[in-house]
């Protein structure tokens, strides 16, 4: 088997900005492209689902929540949503409808 030319690993997903240089520092080659607008948003949505899934596996909750938040911040930037305005909206909804601290589960209504 030729060790100098290992089988490629296929990822086909949005990665953090420094990942290609981290890969290069390990003497590997990263084939990449820059996503255009529509693809970028779709990839952000996919990344959000990926990070939420990793959070749900509960391997490293703090890191996974940080990753979820990073994707949310990227979506905010892409959609021109001010993060401070988003926080104000979150607080407004919490004041009007409450948060989730009381752990209430709605079973049904009649």
* Stated pTM of the model: 0.82
d(C-alpha 70, C-alpha 29), whole Å = 25
pLDDT tens per residue across span 79-110: 999 999 999 999 999 999 999 999 999 998 88
pLDDT tens per residue across span 7-59: 889 999 999 999 999 999 999 889 999 999 999 999 999 999 999 999 999 87
What domains lie within the chain, and their CATH numbers? 19-97 (1.10.287)
Give whole-number Cα distances, 34 to 24, 31, 51, 70, in Å. 17, 11, 21, 18
């Amino acid at each position: 088997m030729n060790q100098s030319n290992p089988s490629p690993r296929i990822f086909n997903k949005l990665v953090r900005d420094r990942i290609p240089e981290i890969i290069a520092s390990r003497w590997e080659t990263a084939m990449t492209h820059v996503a255009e607008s529509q693809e970028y948003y779709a990839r952000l949505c996919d990344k959000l689902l990926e990070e939420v899934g990793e959070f749900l596996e509960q391997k490293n909750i703090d890191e996974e929540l940080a990753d979820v938040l990073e994707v949310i911040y990227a979506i905010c930037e892409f959609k021109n949503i001010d993060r401070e305005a988003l926080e104000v909206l979150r607080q407004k909804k919490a004041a009007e409808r409450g948060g989730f601290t009381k752990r209430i589960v709605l079973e049904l209504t009649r």
